[in-house]
Amino acid sequence: MLDKALRVIEKYIPKKLYRFFQPAYHYSLAFASALLYRFPGRKIFVLGVTGTKGKTSTIELVSAILEEAGYTTAIISTLRFKVGKEEERNLYKMTMPGRFFIQKMLRRAVKNKCDFAIVEMTSEGARFFRHKFTYMNALIFTNLSPEHIESHGSFENYLNAKLEIAKALESSPKKNRVIVANVDDKFAEKFLNTSVPTKKTFSLSDGKPFALGDSGIDFTLLGEKIHSKLSGEFNLYNILAAISFTQTQNVDKNIIKRALEKFSGIRGRMERIEAGQDFTVIVDYAHTPDSLEKVYQVFQNQKKICVLGGTGGGRDGWKRPVMGNIAKRYCDHIILTNEDPYDEDPRKIVDEIRGAIGGVNCEIIMDRREAIREAFKHAKTGDAVIITGKGTDPYIMGANGSKTEWDDADVAREELKKLTF
């Protein structure tokens, strides 16, 4: 409630005045929220997870391993808010909804005697000091690629916002702080320069020998062969990140293996939709060029019908032709549709993607449900229908703050049920 009230007040402050006082204003709010909830981060192990891709999946994997080991976890992420056995879907369209919300969640975690609070930390959240006074014990860095460039002004600013999260770990009063980083990413060194007692790295080579397939991943951990139901190289990275962190907490390798083999997947992340059809249906959040390409690569041996929503209105316009080119290279049939236009003309967004695709098999269906329905009509036995861009996003965001309730997976199931197999 407090965060909502403050957002309303901000609208009435002159922009020049707001920009001048913005850093001090947001820092003061971060301190006030922590003070109000009695600095809960001091009383619980706080793990931050940051990067461009894989944050939510890594969080879920870490939580699954810790719970298998007998710990109780709390989660703040794009997907959900969880305290022990209680959970709710994140309907805010924000990963870090606000300083007061985050501190309240940490207080709930302390009250419910959670052992770990796992927080997805974003560059946007860092800009507004939402990571401040969480008092991290540890941080996982997954990877970094261009994202939110319009919002930050440049990739360098985006990187620096992420590094502010690492600096917050560095200045945390907690003892035995840990940073875990993906050394296959060229920006890992910047995060590993953080002055903390324990630094642990992971690389794809740690899982060798491994095999990637449609039905999952087979890899090796400390001499143990493990099968994960997750698909794709990117998910192997997420798994290795989770393993690396839980090893720093002395979780036994047999517990890690058991948890990973039980783990069936995450809503909206390479989510398989089954309704008796003889073709594959995947719903994935892929909203960056790199993540989109990696999803398509998983199904390189199948004919692909791709429902592509592009990018949200008013931001990251550079991604539109890039994602169009990726779809052109990998997809056998493309259906462009509406996603989150906000105040931008949705047809303009789609046309910018279409411009990069050219004359290949591509059609535009602005109604997202109709686009999904049409994709299923195109699918034959053994094909893959890949629906990307929204994942578990709960709304389609339109002009003037309007929003329509939405869930790609639910809509896909509804439309599949209408078909006769």
For residue 205, give both structure tokens.
Answer: 């080579």
Are 12 and 131 part of one and the same domain? yes
Q: What is the pLDDT of residue 9?
A: 62
Q: Find the mean pLDDT for residues 219-245.
A: 94
On whether the CB atoms of residues 51 and 139 are closer than 8 A, the answer is: no
On whether the CB atoms of residues 64 and 230 are closer than 8 A, the answer is: no
The DSSP call for residue 153 is: S
Distance between CA atoms of 286 and 308, rounded to whole angstroms? 10
pLDDT for 279-292, tens place per residue?
999 999 998 899 99
**Residue at a domain's end among 208, 238, 262:** 262
Q: Find the mean pLDDT for residues 313-335.
A: 91
Are 231 and 293 part of one and the same domain? no
Given a cut of 80, whether residue 370 has pLDDT beyond it is yes
Are 337 and 388 part of one and the same domain? yes
> For residue 346, what are the domain limits?
271-417
N-terminal to C-terminal alpha carbon distance within the chain:
48
* More confidently predicted of 318 and 254: 254
Give Cβ neighbours of residue 125 (< 8 Å, ≥ 6 apart).
95, 96, 131
Are 137 and 233 part of one and the same domain? yes
Cβ neighbours, 10 Å, residue 307: 27
Are 46 and 151 part of one and the same domain? yes
Are 153 and 238 part of one and the same domain? yes
On whether the CB atoms of residues 174 and 341 are closer than 8 A, the answer is: no
On whether the CB atoms of residues 385 and 409 are closer than 8 A, the answer is: no
Residue 103 belongs to domain with CATH number? 3.40.1190.10
Give Cβ neighbours of residue 65 (< 8 Å, ≥ 6 apart).
242, 243, 246, 251, 255, 256, 259, 260
On whether the CB atoms of residues 306 and 386 are closer than 8 A, the answer is: yes
φ, ψ of residue 275 in degrees (nearest 5): -145, 30
Are 249 and 296 part of one and the same domain? no
Residue at 74: amino acid letter: A
Q: What is the pLDDT of residue 14?
A: 72
pLDDT for 293-317, tens place per residue?
999 999 989 999 999 986 778 777 8
Residue 302 belongs to domain with CATH number? 3.90.190.20
Q: Find the mean pLDDT for residues 373-398.
A: 94
Are 61 and 186 part of one and the same domain? yes
pLDDT for 7-19, tens place per residue?
566 666 676 665 6
Are 171 and 35 part of one and the same domain? yes
Residue at 55: amino acid letter: K
- Residue labelled with tokens 């009250």: 111
Domain count, the chain: 2
Q: What is the pLDDT of residue 16?
A: 62
Are 164 and 21 part of one and the same domain? yes
Pairing of strands 116-120, 86-89: unpaired
Are 214 and 281 part of one and the same domain? no
109-128 burial by CB neighbour count: b if 16+ within 10 A, else e?
bbeeebbbbbbbbbbbbbbb
3-state secondary structure 127-143: HCCCCCCCCCCEEEECC
pLDDT for 35-75, tens place per residue?
999 999 999 999 999 999 999 999 999 999 999 999 999 99
φ, ψ of residue 362 in degrees (nearest 5): -145, 135
Q: What is the pLDDT of residue 146?
A: 74
**Residue at a domain's end among 225, 245, 262:** 262
pLDDT for 105-114, tens place per residue?
999 999 999 9
Distance between CA atoms of 310 and 319, rounded to whole angstroms? 8
Are 238 and 277 part of one and the same domain? no
CA angle 403, 291, 272 (to 5 degrees): 70
Q: Is 303 exposed, middle or buried, given 0-12, 13-18 or 19+ CB atoms closer than 10 A?
A: middle
pTM of the model: 0.89
